[in-house]
């Protein structure tokens, strides 16, 4: 070890100890008073998508519980990577968080070249719920059931188009898995979020979309058709709609998990307080009702449980991405 000129070993040790104590004292005060200012929650997609709905619904009770504004900040683009990178490079103090679907961690690193490693540079705090993944189509197509869709798609390779919230997003990968298992060739048209993707289908730009539930109001009014769900069980909101498994695709069992993350290095006590606040917010009846109404399930998982979800999904999607050769411009 080298020492500063003019200081003996005892003087240097005393100064170092003082600085260390001051640093730990500041950290303790920061943890004890968090949050002392507004908290920004960054999202990687345009308003109207699944993670956006969840973040905005949760921000209301979290604001009341924490006594500080929760500011939802949409930074769409690059399949969520813009938001992921911004949060990873933010100060690790609990005032900049990421609310995101798991694919920003489980899929994007296998598709895009990124300036950060999402598996190391951001930390999962908690899962807050999951969305169903449902095949929704525009009106006017020559089929009205999932089985008829399969028959038409197989007989007309490359004719159908499907929108998604971006390359590598959950809707894109679920659609890719569906088409692969069904033996159908279709054209992918990516947008900057599930909201714009749904709007593109509503205006006739594309034929269909794997929807996380934001199309439910349009389904109920007859503006679009919903043919099947990609999950293992039927939806409580539409109990007569079959699962893709029931209709001949046994490998389909997909949901879109949404969670909250912080920059690596954020104090454990701050992450724990965020997780505790999320768990309490998810018990508010208004939150439960809004989640259910948008096609989501309230499912809280702490950091350990959420990390297991991420590990399992990474295995599935990394293999799918490699097998299908999905690239950043797919």
Smallest CA-to-CA distance from 87 within 263, 268, 275 is with 263
Answer yes or no: do 297 and 148 share one domain.
no
Are 154 and 199 contained in the same domain? yes
- Both 171 and 318 in a single domain? no
Same domain, 97 and 143: no
Q: How confident is the model at residue 32 (pLDDT cuts 50, 70, 90)?
A: low
Q: Whole-prediction pTM value?
A: 0.82
CATH of the domain at 179: 3.40.190.10
Question: 44 lies in a domain?
Answer: yes
The pLDDT tens digits of the residues spanning 237-265 come to 999 999 999 999 999 999 999 999 999 99
φ, ψ (nearest 5 deg) of residue 280: -70, -40
Query: Would you call 298 helix, strand, or coil by DSSP?
Result: strand
What is the number of structural domains in the chain?
2
- Residue 235 inside a domain? The answer is no
Does residue 216 sit in the same domain as residue 260? no
Q: What pLDDT digit, counting tens, does each position of 54-99 carry?
A: 999 999 999 999 999 999 999 998 989 999 999 999 999 999 999 9
Instruction: Look up residue 218 and give its two tokens.
Output: 């349009």
94: domain CATH number? 3.40.190.150
Mean of the per-residue pLDDT values of the chain: 90
Exposure on the CB side of residue 310, measured as CA atoms within 13 A = 29
Q: What pLDDT, on a 0 to 100 scale, did the predictor assign at position 95?
A: 98
The pLDDT of residue 123 is above 90: yes
What is the domain range of residue 179?
Answer: 132-229
Torsion sign over Cα 165, 169, 175, 176: positive
Q: Which two tokens stand for residue 275?
A: 């997780």
């Amino acid at each position: 070890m080298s020492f500063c000129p003019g200081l003996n070993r005892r003087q240097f040790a005393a100064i170092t100890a003082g600085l260390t104590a001051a640093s730990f004292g500041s950290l303790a005060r920061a943890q004890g008073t968090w949050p002392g200012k507004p908290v920004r929650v960054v999202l990687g997609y345009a308003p109207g998508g699944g993670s956006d709905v969840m973040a905005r619904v949760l921000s209301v009770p979290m604001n009341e519980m924490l006594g500080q504004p929760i500011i939802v900040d949409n930074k769409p683009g690059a399949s969520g990577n813009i938001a992921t990178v911004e949060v990873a490079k933010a100060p690790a103090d609990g005032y900049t968080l990421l609310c995101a679907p798991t694919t920003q961690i489980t899929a994007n690193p296998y598709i895009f070249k990124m300036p950060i490693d999402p598996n190391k540079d951001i930390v999962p705090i908690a899962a807050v719920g999951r969305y169903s993944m449902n095949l929704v189509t525009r009106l006017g197509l020559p089929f009205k059931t999932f089985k008829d869709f399969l028959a038409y798609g197989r007989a007309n390779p490359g004719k159908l188009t499907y929108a998604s919230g971006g390359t590598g997003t959950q809707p894109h990968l679920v659609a890719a898995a569906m088409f692969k298992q069904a033996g159908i060739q279709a054209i992918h048209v990516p947008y900057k979020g599930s909201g714009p993707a749904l709007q593109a289908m509503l205006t006739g730009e594309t034929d269909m979309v794997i929807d996380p539930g934001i199309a439910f109001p349009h389904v109920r009014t007859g503006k679009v058709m919903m043919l099947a769900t990609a999950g293992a069980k039927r939806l409580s909101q539409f109990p007569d709609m079959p699962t893709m498994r029931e209709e001949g695709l046994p490998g389909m069992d997909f949901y879109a998990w949404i969670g909250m993350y912080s920059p690596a290095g954020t104090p454990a006590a701050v992450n724990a307080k965020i997780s505790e606040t999320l768990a309490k917010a998810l018990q508010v009846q208004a939150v439960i009702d809004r989640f259910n109404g948008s096609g989501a399930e309230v499912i809280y998982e702490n950091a350990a449980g959420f990390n297991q979800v991420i590990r399992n999904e990474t295995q599935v999607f990394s293999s799918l991405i490699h097998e299908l050769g999905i690239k950043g411009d797919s």
